[in-house]
Amino acid sequence: MARRCDICGKGTVAGNSVTRKGQLKKKGGVGQHIGVVTKRVFRPNIVSVKTLINGTPRTIKVCTRCLRSGRVQKVV
């Protein structure tokens, strides 16, 4: 399943998971230092919604932000 919103086009984004080690300065340490950086994926919250498009009911994949902001009306 493609993780892309049919309305706004929001999709997966790659980034880094940064592991930090060391005690915080405000807790008496010398500060945090970056240990290991590994790749990770940020995935959008995509849901399948039945909606009316040009008068016909269709199921589309929509991010919850578009659904919440009212860009798409659900058909019950």
Q: Which of 43, 53, 44 has the alpha carbon at shortest distance from 75? A: 53
- Residue 17 carries which side chain, given as an amino acid letter? S
20-73 confidence digits (pLDDT tens): 999 999 999 999 999 999 999 999 999 999 999 999 999 999 999 999 999 999
For residue 63, what are its two tokens? 């991010």
Q: Is the pLDDT of residue 2 over 90?
A: no
Domain ranges across the chain = 13-69
Mean pLDDT of 2-19: 95
pLDDT at 1: 57
pTM: 0.73
